[in-house]
Amino acid sequence: MPTPPDEPRGAVARHTAYLPHFRDKVTNSRPIWRIEWGHPGFTHRTPPEPTDDHQPTVITRHWGQPAPDGTGVTWPYLHRGTCLGCAWEGPDRRLTDAAVEDAHDHTHPGWRDLPAVPDQRGRRWLTHVQHLYPDGWLDRGGPIRTVRTGIEKRHKPRAAPGGGYDLAVQPPRKVERVTAISDTLPLEFDGAGAA
């Protein structure tokens, strides 16, 4: 869905425009784009501060309209990856995690090629991550990629060392070996003609 020309662009501008409507009971603020709760830049009181460099976040709004893919499914919310350092916005997404990934494609190119690390914390783990990732990556708010199993498989804002996102990676699925039989088995018939 294209942005009308009179709407603000970028996470900071959109959230700043949303704040006056947050506590206003007359205006329905649900369809107004704003930074998603818990993500970098989110605030209820004062406008968010733009960053000096590109930092990822997500904006969201209640939509309650049929999905644009024509499936007839209703998307209650739309999400967009955005940047706290510029007015860049990604495409509309149904899932927050897809928008988070779009934002990282903009702010931290190459993040998809980083090695995934185990989901455990500690000094030895941090030293290991710092050796695997590019110099200064974590200091610049870069994400980490963490292999996670169980129920917690979503991307986590501000959960990486340095304040970046902890991006969930699914472990590879085990592939069962299957042995194919190359010879045809003969069919045996009993006297009644049944196989």
Question: For residue 14, what are the CA distances in angstroms to 1, 18, 36, 60?
Answer: 16, 6, 11, 10
Please report where in the chains the tokens 């049944």 appear, as a residue. Answer: 194
On whether both 147 and 97 belong to a single domain, the answer is: no
Query: Is the model's pLDDT at 99 over the cut of 80?
Result: yes
Q: Write out the residue range of the structural domain in which residue 120 sits.
A: 110-171
Q: What is the per-residue pLDDT across 152-185, written as a single tens digit (0 to 9) for each?
A: 789 999 999 999 999 999 877 776 676 666 666 5
On whether both 98 and 121 belong to a single domain, the answer is: no
On whether both 58 and 126 belong to a single domain, the answer is: no
- Given a contact cutoff of 8 angstroms between Cβ atoms, the answer to whether 158 and 165 are in contact is yes
CA distance 72 to 185: 48
**Based on the structure, what is the number of domains in the chain?**
2
Ranges of beta strands (E only) in 98-195 are 117-118, 144-147, 166-169
**57 beta partners:** 82
Per-residue pLDDT, 170: 85
Q: What is the per-residue pLDDT across 8-40, written as a single tens digit (0 to 9) for each?
A: 889 999 999 888 887 776 776 778 899 999 999
Per-residue pLDDT, 21: 80
Q: Is residue 189 part of a domain?
A: no
Q: What is the per-residue pLDDT across 45-56, written as a single tens digit (0 to 9) for each?
A: 888 888 899 999
CA distance 89 to 79: 10
Q: What is the per-residue pLDDT across 109-143, written as a single tens digit (0 to 9) for each?
A: 999 999 999 988 888 999 999 999 999 999 999 99
